[in-house]
Structure 1
Amino acid sequence: MILELADFQIHPQHNDAFETAQQRGISTCIARARGYEGFKFNRCIEALGRYVLQIFWTTLKDHTVGFRESSAFTDWRAIVGPFFARAPLVQHFDLVAKSA
Structure 2
Amino acid sequence: MILETADIRIQPGRQADFDAAIVQGLQTIIAKAKGFRGWRVVKGIESPERYLLQIEWETLENHTVDFRESPAFAEWRAIVGPFFAQPPVVEHFTLVGAG
| Distance in 2 separating the partners of 1:19 and 1:25 | 10
Distance in 1 of aligned mates of 2:70 and 2:24: 17
| Aligned match of 2:36 | 36
> TM (normalized to structure 1)?
0.97
Report the Cα offset of residue 15 of structure 1.
0.2
- CA deviation after TM superposition for structure 1 residue 28, in Å: 1.1
Q: Alpha-carbon deviations, 1:29-79, whole Å to 9, x = none?
A: 100000000001000111120000000000000000000000111000000
Letter in 2 for 1:38: G
Could you tell me how far apart the structure 2 residues matched to 1:91 and 1:53 are? 11
For structure 2, the 5+ residue unaligned runs are none
Q: Which amino acid aligns with 1:29?
A: I
- Mapped partners of 1:75, 1:81: distance in 2: 10
Count of aligned pairs? 99
Unpaired runs of at least 5, structure 1: none
Runs ≥4 in structure 1, deviation > 2 angstroms?
none
RMSD, matched Cα: 0.5
